[in-house]
């Protein structure tokens, strides 16, 4: 059975840079480290392997909610209102914005789902090796949306439910969805839920949860639960790792995945 082994915890809060509410996480591709965004800041942050800010890119608005690195070296992020994807060139710092409503496949049902979401809009993004883009809607309902690599068309929409395996220890607590990361070793995506305090591995073929992992670690003989986990990054290897970022604590946690 797959389980997590806690390895490291980093404080990534940097008030001078306005990095106080990290809401997304991606592994950097050019050298060890991370990219992250913060709810409160009009910036995209490049961190070193210990979570310290190396540089930042100015964003057009606040409330960026997720970050992903593309195979060709670009970055993508999402905003809630209106639901849109930002494409960032980390070299030139040029930014392109693409609204979901301008894509082929945007339907009246999707428009209604976002209009009635009550601040439960886009929260996470990841990019598959073949260029497909996945974004997740936080809740009411939770939706996994597959988009073509050129961001021209919405190709598939999957509602995320408890029947698929998105549930925790308390049956009265409904899942929300706050971050995504593609698992290169399987046709599956990691989805983090801050309310359930879990990371789920969700299969795109069978639309079922393949693993459900409680996010916590031991400190002083007690279990510390990760509060408001809003970003997740999968790192392949032997063993593979999960990197988790907490919005509430502005901390980054590294776990080894064992048995998966």
Look at residue 102 in the predicted model and tell me its pLDDT. 97
Look at residue 148 in the predicted model and tell me its pLDDT. 98
Look at residue 185 in the predicted model and tell me its pLDDT. 83
Per domain, the residue ranges of the chain are 3-258
What are the tokens at 213?
């992992």
How buried is residue 141: exposed, middle or buried, by Cβ count under 10 Å (0-12/13-18/19+)? middle
Q: What is the pTM of this model?
A: 0.95
Look at residue 117 in the predicted model and tell me its pLDDT. 64
CATH T-level fold of 3-258: Neuraminidase (2.120.10)
> 195 with 174: CB under 8 angstroms?
yes
What are the C-alpha distances in Å from 171 to residues 120, 162, 166, 196, 208? Answer: 20, 9, 11, 10, 18
Distance in angstroms (rounded) separating the CA atoms of residues 43 and 253: 22
- In which residue ranges of the chain is pLDDT below 70? 117, 260
């Amino acid at each position: 059975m797959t389980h997590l082994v806690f390895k490291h915890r980093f404080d990534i809060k940097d008030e001078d840079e306005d990095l106080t509410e990290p809401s997304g996480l991606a592994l950097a591709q050019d050298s060890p480290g991370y990219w992250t965004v913060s709810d409160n800041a009009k910036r995209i942050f490049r961190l070193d392997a210990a979570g310290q800010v190396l540089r930042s890119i100015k964003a057009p608005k606040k409330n960026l909610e997720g970050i992903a690195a593309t195979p060709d070296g670009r970055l993508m992020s999402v905003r809630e209102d209106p639901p849109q994807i930002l494409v960032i060139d980390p070299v030139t710092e040029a930014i392109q914005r693409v609204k979901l409503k301008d894509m082929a496949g945007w339907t009246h049902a999707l428009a209604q789902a976002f209009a009635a979401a009550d601040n439960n809009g886009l929260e996470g993004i990841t990019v598959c090796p073949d260029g497909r883009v996945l974004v997740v809607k936080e809740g009411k309902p939770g939706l996994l949306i597959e988009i073509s690599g050129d961001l021209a068309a919405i190709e598939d929409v999957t509602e995320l439910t408890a029947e698929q395996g998105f549930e925790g220890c308390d049956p009265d607590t409904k899942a929300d969805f706050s971050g995504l990361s593609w698992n290169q070793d399987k046709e599956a995506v990691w989805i983090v839920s801050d309310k359930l305090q879990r990371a789920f591995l969700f299969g795109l073929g069978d639309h079922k949860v393949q693993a459900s992992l409680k996010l916590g670690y031991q400190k002083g003989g007690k279990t510390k639960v990760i509060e408001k986990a809003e970003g997740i990054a999968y790192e392949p290897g032997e063993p593979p790792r999960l990197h988790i970022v907490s919005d509430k604590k502005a901390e980054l946690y590294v776990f080894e995945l064992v048995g998966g």
